[in-house]
Structure 1
Amino acid sequence: MDTNRKTTLRNAPKPKTASYKYSFRLNEEQNIRFNELLCKAGLEHNRSRFIVKRIFGEEFVVVRRDPSKTQFVTRLNDFYFLMKETCE
Structure 2
Amino acid sequence: MDTNRKLTDKTGKKPPTPSHKYSFRLNEEQNIRFNELLCKAGLEHNRSRFIVKRIFEEEFVVIKRDPSKVQFVARLNDFYFQFQKLANNCAPVKVI
TM range, smaller chain: 0.7 to 0.9
Equivalent in the alignment of 1:58 = 58
Identity of aligned residues (%): 77
CA distance in 2, matches of 1:52, 1:32: 19
- In structure 1, the gaps of 5 or more residues are 1-10
Shift in Å, 1:84 = 3.4
Equivalent in the alignment of 2:73 = 73
How does the TM-score come out when normalised to structure 2? Answer: 0.72
CA distance in 2, matches of 1:16, 1:47: 22
Aligned length: 78
SS of corresponding position for 2:43: coil
**Structure of greater Rg:** 2
Which gives a bigger RCO, structure 1 or 2 (Cα 8 Å, sep 6+)? 1
How does the TM-score come out when normalised to structure 1? Answer: 0.78
Q: In the alignment, is residue 36 of structure 1 matched against residue 36 of structure 2?
A: yes
Alignment of 1:13-52 (within 5 A): 13-52=13-52
Q: Higher helix proportion, which one?
A: 2
